């Protein structure tokens, strides 16, 4: 099962749910935004925290005060900007120590997991748990987070010399390879946006690489509050995805609900049914080491 995480969900209290899913072999790969994986999970893995603000800060009328105090706001959540800059610097350190070549986001995030394995401050980290369970994490827009500042600083310092770069094409290729090698896949999508489309598109990419009809995702569940009428990617239905040959409509379900309500209920139900007990970790990351063109 491929888990898709859109927006900024981890600071909303869903991180422990995702960690438990990975820990209990309920997730085989993750496609996410950088906000979830780096600015929130990796950031907390370094020992830092997000703080819930009082209601009077939600309107934005006191953001000037926050700026003077170097406090960054995400709706009702606060982050210490000085700590976030330490997170930026830590990602730069990881980039500096990587082989100077193009890397997929999966390769870089695996090294972030290795860093937390040595230096992390909490066991409840998605990046760390995926590293330990060999679950690949893909962030298609990887520069759009704290790691983006890290790679900009790394490349600026290297000048005209060899340097690390992020290869988004390699991201797409690697995830497509998983589809080709594993065939049977399903999606559990929290939100929409780039992670949703990226994970769906691998069916079409697999057809292009193999000149054969690749099996659609066997099932798909999307939890969203986006309104179908706005015509956006986050609100496009799974039946619409079927017209592209991405999702089988036999087992698809749109769940129009706030994620922090629906996700614990759905995952809790699946957990207590106990099917995960018979599952072994797929270790999909190992399939990508030295993957060859099909």
Looking at the DSSP bridge assignments, the partners of residue 173 are: none
Give phi and psi for 78, each to the nearest 5.
Answer: -110, 145
* Residue pointed to by tokens 């600083």: 153
Q: Count the helix, strand and coil residues of the chain and give each as a percent rounded to the nearest 5.
A: 55, 15, 35
Active site residue 181: no
Task: Work out whether the CA dihedral 223, 229, 231, 232 comes out positive or negative.
Answer: negative
Eight-state DSSP code of residue 46: T
To the nearest 10°, report the CA torsion of 283, 10, 193, 207. Answer: 0
CA distance 18 to 134: 15
If we measure between CA atoms, which residue out of 125, 104, 276, 254 comes closest to residue 178?
104
Alpha-carbon gap, residue 168 to 56, rounded angstroms: 40
**Which position among 92, 133, 246, 282 bears the catalytic label?**
246
Three-class secondary structure of residue 23 per DSSP: helix
Q: Which tokens belong to 239?
A: 């039946």
d(CA 217, CA 201): 10
Catalytic residues: 246
């Amino acid at each position: 099962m491929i888990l898709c995480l859109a927006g900024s969900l981890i600071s909303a209290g869903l991180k422990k749910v995702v960690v438990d899913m990975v820990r209990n072999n309920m997730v085989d790969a993750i496609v996410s935004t950088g906000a979830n994986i780096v600015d929130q999970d990796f950031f907390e893995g370094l020992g830092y925290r997000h703080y819930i603000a009082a209601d009077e800060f939600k309107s934005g009328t006191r953001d000037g005060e926050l700026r003077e105090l170097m406090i960054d706001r995400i709706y009702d959540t606060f982050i210490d900007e000085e700590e976030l800059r330490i997170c930026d610097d830590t990602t730069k350190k990881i980039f500096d120590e990587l082989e100077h070549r193009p890397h997929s986001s999966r390769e870089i995030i695996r090294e972030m997991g290795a860093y937390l394995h040595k230096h992390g401050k909490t066991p409840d980290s998605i990046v760390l748990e995926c590293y330990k369970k060999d679950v690949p994490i893909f962030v298609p827009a990887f520069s759009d987070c704290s790691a983006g500042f890290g790679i900009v600083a790394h490349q600026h310092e290297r000048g005209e010399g060899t340097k690390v770069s992020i290869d988004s094409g390699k991201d797409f290729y690697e995830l497509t390879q998983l589809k080709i090698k594993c065939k049977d896949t399903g999606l559990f999508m929290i939100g929409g946006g780039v992670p949703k489309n990226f994970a769906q598109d691998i069916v079409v990419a697999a057809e292009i690489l193999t000149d054969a009809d690749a099996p659609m995702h066997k099932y798909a569940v999307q939890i969203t509050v986006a309104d179908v009428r706005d015509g956006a990617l986050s609100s496009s239905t799974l039946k619409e995805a079927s017209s592209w040959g991405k999702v089988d409509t036999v087992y698809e379900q749109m769940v129009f609900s706030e994620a922090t309500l629906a996700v614990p209920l759905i995952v809790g139900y699946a957990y207590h049914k106990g099917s995960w007990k018979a599952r072994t970790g797929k270790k999909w990351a190992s399939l990508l080491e030295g993957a060859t063109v099909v």
